[in-house]
């Protein structure tokens, strides 16, 4: 028995109000309730929330919120964690109410990342309505989207997420980020979404969260969001492009916290009975270029040959 979906994600952010405006006006998320603990909830669908903004100072990942079907599955995952020496805590009524779930346990992975496992998420009291008028996001049984993490020890991360939480390997990407800098990325899934979690070994990284991906329901919604970012001056971290492994058409924008959000469409689905694990030698088929600062025009005082 394993986790079924990355149901929610918690973000530790310094400026909750700025983030809330950004989420509504740029991402198109609906602003949900403000909890008793001070978290601002953001909605992407009919759930009470998919993203929680926790007031803090780190501007990084606060927790990963995994889901299981019920108490039997929760106990099975707990036993596996505890047998491996992982300390597991049970949430009290206050934390369960804060997260909007029937039951929840929590633990910390080998890289210090808090993981919460729950079941019985509560629906919202009102239908989803995006402030931008978009129809919504691809969530449901696939969960909130995916996250890419920077970890200190990739082997230990694999043991925790694959062997203990029960995620399955989707594929790997090995590529040269820049001359002399090789990157090995691992992608894991727990439902038909190509990956709910990916990680790369970067010991001592400034933050754990590299990016969060939100999948839109049409290519036009991705394009409209890209144009909105250009118009409103939201920094673009990587241009429009298509990935090799999940075939996602997407771009990356910079959040108020400094990490990125990938806005995508058309990600590949996985059928575990037919899936074959592969290793790719590039992250993208095309695009996904980092922005290049515009160069000033050549001065007319320069030699004539430079102006041709």
pLDDT per residue of the chain (308 residues) written in tens, 0 to 9: 899 999 999 999 999 999 999 999 999 999 999 999 899 999 999 999 999 999 999 999 999 999 999 999 999 999 999 999 999 999 999 999 999 999 999 999 999 999 999 999 999 989 999 999 999 999 999 999 999 999 999 999 999 999 999 999 999 999 887 788 889 999 999 999 999 999 999 999 999 999 999 999 999 999 999 999 999 999 999 999 999 999 999 999 999 999 999 999 999 999 999 999 999 999 999 999 998 654 444 443 333 333 22
Q: What angle do CA 265, 43, 224 make, to 5 degrees?
A: 35
pTM score of the predicted model: 0.92
115, 108 Cβ separation under 8 angstroms: yes
How would DSSP label each residue in 137-172? BS-GGG-S-EEEEEES-HHHHHIIIIIIS--EEEEE
Instruction: Give the pLDDT of residue 306.
Output: 30
User: Residue 291 belongs to what H/E stretch?
Assistant: none
Bridge partners, residue 9, by sequence: 51, 64
Instruction: Give the pLDDT of residue 42.
Output: 98
Tokens of 233: 């001056």
80: Cβ–Cβ under 8 A, 6 or more apart, which residues? 164, 166
CATH of region 5-124+133-287: 3.10.180.10
Eight-state DSSP code of residue 239: E
137: left (phi over 0), alpha (psi -120 to 50) or beta: beta
Spell out the alpha helix ranges (H) of 149-248. 154-158, 219-232
Tokens of 245: 């492994």
User: Residue 81 belongs to what H/E stretch?
Assistant: helix 71-83
Give residue for tokens 């047998």: 83
Instruction: Give the pLDDT of residue 293.
Output: 53
Instruction: Give the pLDDT of residue 181.
Output: 82
């Amino acid at each position: 028995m394993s986790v079924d979906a990355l149901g929610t994600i918690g973000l530790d952010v310094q400026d909750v109000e700025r983030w809330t405006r950004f989420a509504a006006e740029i991402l198109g998320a609906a602003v949900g309730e403000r909890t008793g603990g001070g978290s601002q909830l953001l909605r992407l669908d009919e759930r009470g929330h998919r993203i929680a903004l926790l007031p803090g100072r780190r501007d990084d990942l606060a927790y990963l919120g995994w889901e299981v079907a019920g108490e039997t599955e929760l106990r099975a995952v707990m036993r596996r964690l505890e047998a491996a020496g992982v300390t597991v805590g049970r949430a009290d009524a206050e934390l369960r109410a804060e997260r909007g779930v029937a039951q929840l346990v929590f633990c910390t992975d080998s890289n210090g990342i808090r993981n919460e496992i729950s079941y019985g998420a509560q629906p919202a009291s009102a239908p989803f309505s995006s402030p931008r008028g978009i129809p919504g996001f691809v969530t449901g049984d696939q969960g909130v989207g995916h996250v890419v993490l920077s970890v200190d020890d990739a082997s230990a991360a694999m043991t925790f997420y694959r062997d203990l939480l029960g995620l399955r390997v989707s594929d790997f990407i090995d590529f040269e980020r820049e001359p002399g800098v090789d990157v090995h990325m691992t992608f894991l899934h727990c439902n038909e979404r190509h990956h709910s979690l990916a990680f790369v070994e970067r010991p001592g990284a400034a933050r754990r969260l590299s990016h969060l991906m939100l999948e839109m329901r049409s290519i036009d919604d991705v394009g409209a969001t890209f144009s909105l970012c250009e118009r409103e001056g939201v920094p673009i971290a990587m241009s429009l492009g298509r990935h090799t492994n999940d075939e996602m058409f997407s771009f990356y924008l910079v959040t108020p916290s400094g990490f990125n959000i990938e806005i995508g469409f058309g990600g590949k689905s996985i059928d575990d009975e037919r899936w074959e694990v592969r290793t790719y030698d590039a992250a993208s088929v095309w695009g996904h270029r980092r922005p290049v600062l515009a160069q000033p025009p050549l001065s007319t005082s320069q030699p004539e040959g430079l102006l041709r």
